[in-house]
Structure 1
């Protein structure tokens, strides 16, 4: 049987050294993770900003085109208006199939689409002589309101 020599005591310095190394490694790993998270967050923010800018540009272009076509319809001779109303359908389909790059773009597209659909229903009622042209439906305002709401909520879901 082997006995410990009463003259030798286990070294406390080795235990402390090991604990310090473990703490140092944990600190380095934690700092590295934080740096990577911050840089990825920054990259994602830049990417989202560029994608949102492209979404806004596309949607504003669609809204401007839509407004011009509706103005053309409203100022057309009465007998040409039904055909021009039907010519708006491909624009509605194009808006519906447009792929947003960001959640904000998706919400803004949905707001614009709802406003466009409301305008078409209203125009159909006017052309059918079911109502008089008095309502002011503003597709551009619906789009801008949606974009403002999105900008005010931006980053609200991030908790660091």
Structure 2
């Protein structure tokens, strides 16, 4: 197994959890917040997908799927096109309303496809390339990708947790 295979597997696990967390839920269930300050399933999945799209497209030198494939228009959210959810307050979280689970998984699947196309071409040497010198130590491609995977898996797990509570409440 190569490093590229390991990365592809990790991103595939994120996709599986995302599908499990949102599949079959309606718009109201996706918008449930456990308290007024909590994140909804819709926000969590939108945010984790935006982070992956933003960070991977940046290191790959590609336009984000969000804008290139018209997902920003389909979602119709009241945020600038470059917004990925960092720093969102309670009102911003509440504004992330989606019509269906299919919209979330459709966008996630499109980002996943672009991510896999990129990571499957990577060599071990590519992973040592510095992609962000604003940190100390500078961030390599490998570290950036692992960071995205870790963040995305945490948010996907949070969405799955909220789903469990939503299902028990119904």
Determine which structure has more spread, i.e. the larger CA radius of gyration.
1
Greater relative contact order (Cα < 8 A, sep 6+): 2
Quickly name the TM-score band, shorter chain normalised: 0.3 to 0.5
| TM-score, length-scaled by structure 2 | 0.32
| TM-score, length-scaled by structure 1 | 0.33
More helix by share: 1
